[in-house]
Amino acid sequence: MVLVAEYIINDLAIREDWIMNNNFHLLAIAALALTSVLVRIIPVFIKINITDTSKAVLERALPCAVFITFAVYICATEILKNVIPATAAILFTLLLVFATRASLITTTLLGSLIYIAVQLALNHMT
């Protein structure tokens, strides 16, 4: 599924003449996919003898680490491509997260809308 999405994005990037480093994207996606498999799938099949406290910490920390890594990857690639819209969307999303109790879906949706609105405004001005 991830590879299909990457193929579609690359195809769109070629048609829209975007600057993308495919090797970097593929490496990042492969690393995130591997980490996700290590965190979510392998523990189901392999029993590891650790204390309940350690298990609880790992169950919270590892998925969070994967999510943060993915978020940093997205931020870095978007900021490199479109500095102003990406920065506006990220700052708005951070403000929304820390100032409200909005859900992940709500913050993601509103941050995406800010990104699109700023990008459209900048394109309209040129």
Tell me the per-residue pLDDT of 14-51, one tens digit each, with 9 for 90 and over: 555 545 556 666 767 777 787 778 777 777 788 778 88
Q: What is the C-alpha to C-alpha distance for residues 21 and 125, in angstroms, rounded to an integer?
A: 28
Q: What is the C-alpha to C-alpha distance for residues 15 and 91, in angstroms, rounded to an integer?
A: 30
Q: What is the C-alpha to C-alpha distance for residues 126 and 111, in angstroms, rounded to an integer?
A: 23
State residue 5's pLDDT score. Answer: 53
State residue 123's pLDDT score. Answer: 85
| The pair of three-digit structure tokens given for residue 14, joined into one six-digit string | 């070629």
2-6, 21-25, 116-120, range with the lowest pLDDT: 2-6
Indicate the pTM of the whole model.
0.52
pLDDT-derived band at 2, boundaries 50, 70, 90 = very low
Q: Angle between the 83-99 and 52-81 helix axes, to the nearest 10 degrees? A: 150
Q: What is the C-alpha to C-alpha distance for residues 4 and 13, in angstroms, rounded to an integer?
A: 14
